[in-house]
Amino acid sequence: MANAAAGGEAGMSRGTAGYRRPMALLVILLLAALVFGVGAVIEGLLWLFLITAVLLAAAVWLGWRKLRSFSSSALGS
């Protein structure tokens, strides 16, 4: 009986563990906003978004170019 209760508690903690990372990220962002000011944190997130968008666009463009060169070489053979 005690083992079943312990297993139930372990199951509960596994269920709530999924919320720990987002909450930890939120706490870190809030602390950063308090330390550096809200504007600096928002500006940093904007730069992160812009850099990510540029890198994603470059990866898609280069991947499409590489895929196109492979398909044209396969058709030529």
Rounded Cα distance between 36 and 24, Å, is: 18
| Full residue range of the structural domain in which residue 2 is found | 1-36
Angle at 74 between CA 69 and CA 77, to 5 degrees: 125
Whether the full predicted model's pTM is greater than 0.85, yes or no, is no
Query: Can you tell me the mean pLDDT for 18-43?
Result: 83
Helix (H) or strand (E) holding 52: helix 38-76
Mean per-residue pLDDT, 36-60: 91
Q: Which helix (H) or strand (E) is 25 found in, with range?
A: helix 20-36
% of the chain with per-residue pLDDT over 90: 23
Number of domains present in the structure of the chain: 2
Quick one: 46 and 73 in the same domain?
A: yes
- CA separation for the pair 22, 7 (Å, rounded): 25
Q: Which pair of tokens denotes residue 72?
A: 């044209």
Pair 32, 47 in one domain = no
Q: Answer yes or no: do 54 and 31 share one domain.
A: no
